[in-house]
């Protein structure tokens, strides 16, 4: 009998295979932004989730050794820029370490000075409500203060690649 199912593994058995398996779960892609003391940071993140509606809380996880973490911690606000289908270049830009990831980009300032990216599918401006270290990441929970839905189709990330939905009129 042929089957595509495999026997269960422990994550430590084969870390690359474990990461590949996590990649079976499709997500949207966000660029999280914040500013503090004249420094702007932006990080591509697909760990975004809505936690609570009342109050409106969202979370994401940032690598604990990220050079951007001190700014996210001290800024007190962060903005979730949900990327639209045509923004793969921004996904790659903000996933690549650089002194100024915003160089040459047209951005405006949002709540707490957090950079707002143009052309997104949606945007959520938040106040940092909680932070917890969990393993090698820090969970940042934000209370949504205001948001925009620009009704553009989202960029999707699955199995390590950027994709887009083919149904028109999402959202």
Tell me which residues touch ligand FMN (CB under 6 A). 29, 43-47, 60-63, 66-68, 91, 94-97, 157
Give whichever of 48 and 111 is closer to ligand FMN, judged by the CB atom.
48
Give whichever of 60 and 144 is closer to ligand FMN, judged by the CB atom.
60
Residue 106's Cα: distance from chain center in Å? 19
Give whichever of 72 and 125 is closer to ligand FMN, judged by the CB atom.
72
Give whichever of 26 and 171 is closer to ligand FMN, judged by the CB atom.
26
SS (H, E, C) the chain: CCCCCCCCCCHHHCHHHHHHHHCCCCEECEEEEEEECCEEEEEEECCCEEEECCCCEEEEEEECCCCCHHHHHHHCEEEEEECECCCHHHHHHCCCCCCCCCCCCCEEECHHHCEEECCCCEEEEEEEEEEEEECCEEEEEEEEEEEEECCCCEEEEECCEEEECCCCCCC
Q: Write down the least CB distance from residue 163 to ligand FMN, Å.
A: 11
Q: Write down the least CB distance from residue 144 to ligand FMN, Å.
A: 18
Q: Write down the least CB distance from residue 166 to ligand FMN, Å.
A: 20
Neighbours of 140 (CB within 10 A): 24
- Which residues, in sequence order, are bridge partners of residue 128? 142
Give whichever of 102 and 111 is closer to ligand FMN, judged by the CB atom.
102
Q: Write down the least CB distance from residue 22 to ligand FMN, Å.
A: 11
Q: Write down the least CB distance from residue 127 to ligand FMN, Å.
A: 20
């Amino acid at each position: 009998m042929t089957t595509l199912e495999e026997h269960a593994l422990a994550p430590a058995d084969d870390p690359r295979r474990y990461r590949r398996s996590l990649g079976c779960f499709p997500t949207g892609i966000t660029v999280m932004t914040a500013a503090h003391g004249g420094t702007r940071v932006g990080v591509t993140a697909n760990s975004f989730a809505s936690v609570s509606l009342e109050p409106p809380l969202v979370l994401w996880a940032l690598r604990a050794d990220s050079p951007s973490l001190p700014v996210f911690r001290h800024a007190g606000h962060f903005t979730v820029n949900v990327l639209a289908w045509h923004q793969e270049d921004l996904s790659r830009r903000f996933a690549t370490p650089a002194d100024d990831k915003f160089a040459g980009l047209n951005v405006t300032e949002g709540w707490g000075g957090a950079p707002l990216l143009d052309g997104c599918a949606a945007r959520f401006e938040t106040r940092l409500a909680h932070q917890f270290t969990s393993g090698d990441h820090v969970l940042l929970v934000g209370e949504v203060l205001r948001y925009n839905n620009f009704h553009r189709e989202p960029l999707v990330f699955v199995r390590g690649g950027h994709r887009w939905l083919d149904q028109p009129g999402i959202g």
